[in-house]
Chain A
Amino acid sequence: MKISKKRLYLIFACVLVAYAFLAIAPVFAQDATEAEYRPFPKIGSRNAAWIAAQLHLLFGSFILGVPMFAVIIEFIGWKTKDMRYDRMAQEFIKLCMGAFSTTALLGGVLVFILIWCYPKVMTKLSGIFGPTMIFYVVLFFGETFTLYLYSYGWDKMQGRHKGWHLFLGVLLNVFGTAIMFVSNAWLSYQTSPATQYGVLSEGRRKSWIEEKLAADPSLTPDTAMEGVTSHTMVPLHNETTGEFMGTVWDAVNNFTWMPVNIHRLVGNIAFGGSIVAAYAAFRFLVAKTKEDKAHYDWMGYTGNFIALCGLIPLPFLGYWLGREIYMFNNTMGINMMGSLFSWLFIIQAVMIGVLFIGANYYLWSGMGRIEGAEIYARYRPYMITVIVICVAIWMTPRTLSKISSASELSAMGGANHPHLGLFGLMTAKNTAVNIVILTTFLSFLFYRRSGKTPTASWGKVGNIAISSIFFLAVVSIVVIGIVGFTVPTDLRVNILTPYQVLVALAVMAVVTVVDIFMYRRATTSGTINWGEMTDRSQYVLILIAITFTSLMGLMGYARSGLREAWHIFGVMQDTSADAFTPLLSEAVNIVAIIMVVFFALVGFIFWLGLWGEKKKQDAAATAETAVTAEGDD
């Protein structure tokens, strides 16, 4: 008997549902009254919450990142009057519709798991953040209806209404970003339930001083304030009773809230771009016609460009977040960078290295389809050498004291390698990062210039100026890096490193402006042959997307693991059976499972989009045939 595909799927789905039912059956035997924790069947509460949260976060990033990408692309299309951009933006918003409901679904799953498995924590958090939850719901409605209007109104709001359509797109992003900010407040508060004295509510200021006076009777209201500045960290809980003493805004505006917000916002742009590029790579590889290949090659390039724009500032923003974590709790910072999670950040460096090498490789591959780009090929060996050396420096381990045995420490001559350990210091790593970023920017500059000849009379002077700027910038970054070895950490963290970053950012800004003017009326010596890309380069785009997603998964583990055995760090201890910090090797396995599920779901959504598109094309072809037939008659 031949079983049809549909029936096979149905049987498979029934088996899955039956298995899921049997797996959760023991839950019904649990005593569900007044429990602090309830175990999740089979995989444990922690893993269940972890998988649901990370999947929700990845889809959340997708539906926040892709609309940002879409609005930018739509705007470019509107301004350049190139309808390719408009069509691409619309294509992605359609994909967003499928991902939007999946995100909401996963959010629901996460909430159910949290309420079921961690009722005490949820009671505490909802008690503090109740008003923000109402705000979240309002924003969610706003985002949903704006997305419907933005998507379904696309074709109607062309021409003179395009400006209003773009406004809807911006509004959609505002709603989405606000939603992310609200939920970030909940999670960042769990990591850092404290804020700075300067932004503290009046009520908490008073209660904090009262606590200080009660703890030390020798203090007076004046002496209690000695040494307190606007940056002084103030816990939001009574240190003896653990009772929350601040306002909702105090809790929202906690130590790590804004760094997490900005880091995620920019990360979403890069993530959205990389997923778009991966989608384009997939379509490129399966494309049958030259036109399709050209279209998806161009889409891949655009997606990668947006991803690169997001990727470049990400290390700086990560550094800022790390600095705030150190400022909130030094032990947490040391655990993160110099102890329990040392190797995690080495793995992170490996992944970021892959991202930068991949992005550069893709740009260099792209230059192969531009006539006249050959002149820049001679620089590639030097550039890849610089990038590989810098990535190697970035990957240098340091302060591995807590994860090395005594014999290993002794063999290394201490917590660091006696010679290479020098590169493990942040000053060396920051120097390497800045140089990698400038090299990547140089790759992009070469790409931009490929096949063009400047006509500006000051072209040569401009080139000398740009070369000088690059040279001086690299020298400055290296010198600042070397000085960083000799100064106290405070000076390095607060002054030297920001200067290094400013130098890199300034170079990119100034060179971009000079280059735009220099090539404004450039003659084109060669055209871009879209579609003439190697399959290898498309695999690189997919590699970048997977690496980005894995990186986000790994950072999710770091963020949660940093709290160690605390639901709310220092305030509410995790006393459940699942209160453990998984080993890195176990964590990456969970991350791998999440990656597989995420890409399977994303693949399904993409497939749905293709399916609908194919049906439409078939219908259009049938209608066209019918019209032709009528005409013949």
Chain B
Amino acid sequence: MSKNTLIKIASLILMVVSFIAYIAGASAFPIASENLLPWSVWFLISVIINIVLWSNVMKLLTFSLAVIWFYAFVASLVPESSTAVNLTSLDWSDPDAVAEQGALVFNGKGQCSACHTVDTSAPKGRCPDLTDIGINAASRVPGMDGKTYLIESLYEPDKYLVPGYGKIMPEIWKAPIALSKLEIEAVIAYLQSQGGEIDPTPYDEPIDRADSAVAAAALPPLLTGDAEQGKKVFVSAACISCHAVQGIESPAAGATTTDFEVVTAPDLSEIAAFNDLRYLEESVLMPSAQIVSGYGAVTVSANGTTYQGTLVSQDTEQIVVRTKTADGVEEEHTILLSELDEEPIEELTDLQAKGYFTLTLTPTDADAPVTGEIVSETDETVTLKVNGEDKTFSKTDVKSQMTLIDFDDEEIVGEYVSGTMDDDEIVLIVDGSEEIFDPFDLNEATFTRASGKKLLVTSPMPENFPLLLSVSDMANLLSFLSTLTGATAEAVPAETDDASAE
């Protein structure tokens, strides 16, 4: 066989192998731990060689394969990540910031900008232009204020239609868009900011999310990937530093170059045997959504001392927190819940989600503060167990306190009457008499509506972990996790038993 023929055959084999490897997403060919050129480059090189060396049929085959590869390659270059805004809280002390978050939802997860424009000079969209909707909303339906109109338009879009536009807006709180209440609140703030004033007053959702929540829970994850690749991600993304998986060797302490603190985390060898894909996906994307007992991180303060560590156990009266000193010594602290310090609360929203389990507030019609365990809450009310009885209090009818710090760093505390740092004056009742302060003379004003004891358990897993992975890495990782059923470990003794039976 001539040298030329050998080169031709080798080039042909390289083309086919590199095409298959590219499509299969194989890692670049490693030699002595050094990855060589990616398969796409090998493929291109072999295509060029083939086209030069071969003639007719083989040249045609090369050309055909190159075209097929080209389309696959181009499509793999386009962005396809879903980096939707995921709001967990809104800071109503800065309404403009809330509106900015609303703008992100409007242009992002909410897909509103797919149909609506907020620019009169822009081409007309499929749905009405929302320039100055902050003012115009109040005049759309006679007798209906602007905020109510926006709430109705967002939750029940078909109730009132702008003349000339059809019933095409989806119910954004339902799948597939599925905005949370916080996200819709932010969008409303953004819409109000379009020429109007932002009204932070809480509202009740005019819909029942229960049905759609059941449906959403049944939806499977959107991603999938290659389990073998996922295994590599599991190691390279330092998951193995904290989580054990049977069959994967954990690196020696200090051997990994990770920015994260290495902590003890649940063994994942059988994670997929007891959990579905949705749980796995949620655990990676939102580590704090569900925390395995004994692995949550807490920061609590009791009797003036702050404890930061792992929540080892918890009952109705006490918690056990394991902390680690700077030199690595572990200590366990038993803390009575009653000994936890009360923390000031600025906004009475989502109290339970924030970890509060007791609350102290002063209703406007009472002189003394009321303290009780939080039983339940809505957007407008909170129910406390006070002296064994459930009592419901309005979240808005609460005497609030404001702490002002002037230019001399002196602190003034009083009952709040009116005004913010953006207004001309702030009025407080200090020592029984009403006093007026000029925000110009102040450094800071802190608003306190109530105080409460808080126990918020979070996952020690880094929150920005999903951002460190590419979309395909994430898909591969999930696929790998879904294979961890512990089946391999069980299969070995079963076979041994069969053998001994024979």
Contact = CB atoms under 8 A, between A and B. Distances in A.
B353 interface: no
Interface string A268-291: 000000000000001001100000
A585 B80 contact: yes
A528 interface: no
Contacts of B220: 565, 574-577, 579-580
Interface string B216-258: 0011111111000000000000000000000000000000000
Contact of A588 (B72, B126, B223): B72
B108 interface: yes
Interface stretch (A128-136, A513-521, A542-550): A542-550
A425 interface: yes
A346 B68 contact: no
Nearest to B16: A596
Contacts of B164: 488, 490
Contacts of A582: 224
Residue in B23, B64, B69, B218 with the greatest tally of chain A CB atoms within 10 Å: B64
Contacts of B110: 401
Contacts of A331: 170, 176-177
Residue in A344, A403, A486 with the greatest tally of chain B CB atoms within 10 Å: A403
Contacts of B108: 401-402, 404, 406, 409
B99 to A, nearest CB: 15
Residue in B57, B108, B177 with the greatest tally of chain A CB atoms within 10 Å: B108
Interface in B98-116: 104, 107-111, 113-115
Contact of B72 (A414, A565, A592): A592
Interface in A82-123: none
Contact of A573 (B113, B168, B218, B475): B218
A486 B471 CA distance: 38
A415 B115 CA distance: 11
Given A334-B111, A406-B104, A588 B75 contact: yes
Interface in B56-78: 56-57, 60, 63-65, 67-69, 71-72, 74-76, 78
A228 B258 CA distance: 62
Given A330-B168, A350-B74, A415-B114, A489 B81 contact: no
Nearest to B63: A539
A400 B125 CA distance: 15
B169 interface: yes
Contacts of B125: 489
Interface in A382-439: 399-406, 408-409, 414-416, 422, 425, 427
B305 interface: no
A588 B71 contact: yes
A544 to B, nearest CB: 10
Interface stretch (B82-90, B306-314, B340-348, B370-378): B82-90
B80 A334 contact: no
Nearest to A539: B63
Interface stretch (A193-201, A301-309, A335-343, A365-373): A335-343
B12 to A, nearest CB: 15
Contacts of A400: 79
A interface majority secondary structure: helix
Contacts of A550: 67-68, 71
Contact of A330 (B68, B170, B475): B170
Contacts of A35: none
A405 B467 CA distance: 11
A286 B84 contact: no
B80 A402 contact: no
B25 interface: yes
A405 B64 CA distance: 36
Contacts of B221: 580
Nearest to A343: B78
A327 to B, nearest CB: 9
A580 B223 contact: yes
Contacts of B274: none
Contacts of A485: 123-124
A224 B171 CA distance: 21
A405 B124 contact: no
Contacts of B68: 546, 550, 592, 595-596, 599
Residue in A344, A399, A588, A595 with the greatest tally of chain B CB atoms within 10 Å: A588
Nearest to B219: A565
B166 A403 contact: no
Contacts of B23: 589, 592-593
Residue in B114, B125, B164, B165 with the greatest tally of chain A CB atoms within 10 Å: B114
Residue in A331, A405, A554 with the greatest tally of chain B CB atoms within 10 Å: A331
A351 interface: yes
B277 interface: yes
A335 B170 CA distance: 12
Given A403-B82, A583-B475, A488 B165 contact: yes
Contact of A338 (B67, B81, B114): B114
B283 interface: no
Interface in B151-169: 164-166, 168-169
Contacts of B471: 583
A400 B113 CA distance: 9
B382 to A, nearest CB: 33
B67 A405 contact: no
Contact of A546 (B67, B76, B114): B67
A285 B68 CA distance: 20
A458 B123 CA distance: 45
Contact of A285 (B60, B65, B104, B127): B60
B472 interface: yes
Nearest to A490: B166
B234 to A, nearest CB: 19
Nearest to A573: B218
Contacts of B71: 347, 351, 547, 550, 554, 588, 591-592
Given A425-B123, A592-B68, A414 B107 contact: yes
Contacts of A555: none
Interface in A313-340: 326, 330-331, 334-335, 338-339
A135 to B, nearest CB: 35
Interface in A565-612: 565, 573-589, 591-593, 595-596, 599
A282 B165 contact: no
Contact of A339 (B76, B114, B224): B114
A400 B107 CA distance: 9
Contact of B113 (A347, A399, A546, A578): A399
A547 B67 CA distance: 8
Contacts of B165: 488, 490
Contacts of A574: 220
Nearest to B128: A488
B404 to A, nearest CB: 35
B111 A346 contact: no
B124 A588 contact: no
B124 A286 contact: no
A575 B110 CA distance: 25
A293 to B, nearest CB: 13
A74 interface: no
A401 B117 CA distance: 13
A564 interface: yes
A481 B72 CA distance: 33
Interface of A: 282, 285-286, 326, 330-331, 334-335, 338-339, 343-344, 346-347, 350-351, 399-406, 408-409, 414-416, 422, 425, 427, 484-490, 539, 542-543, 546-547, 550, 554, 564-565, 573-589, 591-593, 595-596, 599
12 contacts: A401-B111, A403-B82, A415-B107, A427-B123, A485-B123, A489-B127, A542-B64, A546-B68, A584-B78, A588-B71, A592-B71, A593-B23
Given A409-B107, A591-B71, 18 more contacts: A285-B56, A401-B110, A403-B79, A403-B81, A406-B83, A406-B85, A409-B108, A414-B113, A415-B107, A489-B115, A489-B124, A489-B125, A490-B164, A490-B165, A546-B64, A564-B176, A585-B472, A589-B23
List of 5 A-B pairs having minimum Cβ-Cβ separation, nearest first: A338-B114, A485-B123, A585-B76, A588-B75, A489-B126
